Amino acid sequence: MELSGCGTALVTPFLSDGSLDEKALRDLVQWQVENGIRFLVPTGSTGEACALTEEEWLRVVRIVIEAADGRVPVFVGCSHNTTRQAVERVKKLQTIPGVAGVLTANPYYTKPTQEGQYQHFRAIAEGTHLQVLLYNIPSRTGINLLPETTARLAEIPNIIGVKESCGNLQQITELIHAVPRRFRVFGGDDNLALPILSVGGAGLVSVAANAIPLEMSRMITAALENDWVRARQMYRKY
């Protein structure tokens, strides 16, 4: 599976009593797929994963997979700063039919070295048959995954790409030139979507797509098809 285009970092809707709004979540997934979104990412930062119980986390995953019904890949947000627990969580996900892969962020709070991050992500990838998308988001985790470390991780067969939310276009450009063509670099910030695509990015994991999936999907598709006039017009508008 070659992942590209616009994916959505799904929100997790709740009812006023604090429980999951399962109908709203199903409706959201249906709307996303109908409006051209290429893949879905539940239970990430936008899905408030850090506030979900494990039972809620797994329930959200199952609902999204059921609602998507195989029409688009589902990459599940699955992060932990303890490597052993991160591996255990991924192993739980791989027992759920329909999970295409995981999105897993830098080990937060503990601020490991580059080698520490490499060993953490490597252990996750080697602990599962699922595809793995790395997630570099130093503003949330306190640690940056550098291009040379990502390039090493790209050598591991089931690590297929990275969601880059470092906010540094120079670093992302260096990364795109450092990794093999099969390795997919996705923007993780809507405001940097077109700059990242212009230097070779494969797509975007979008937050805005929760509200405007058709528009974001069309904008990313236009850029990937080198229709930059149309892409820029949409970018300026939204």
Dihedral sign of CA atoms 189, 191, 192, 197 in order: positive
pLDDT given at position 66 = 98
Candidates 86, 116, 117; CA nearest to 102 is 86
CA 238 to CA 87: how far, in whole Å?
A: 38
Alpha-helical runs (H) found in 74-168: 83-93, 114-126, 138-141, 147-153
pLDDT given at position 2 = 78
What's the Cα-to-Cα distance from 64 to each of 86, 98, 106, 215, 222, rounded to whole Å?
21, 10, 24, 22, 27
Question: What positions carry a catalytic annotation?
Answer: 135, 163
Taking only the tens place, the pLDDT of each residue in 44-98 is: 999 999 999 999 999 999 999 999 999 999 999 999 999 999 999 999 999 999 9
- Which residue bears the tokens 């709740």? 14
pLDDT given at position 1 = 58
Report the percent of the chain where pLDDT is more than 90.
99
CA 19 to CA 21: how far, in whole Å?
A: 6
CA 136 to CA 163: how far, in whole Å?
A: 6
Q: What is the pTM of this model?
A: 0.96
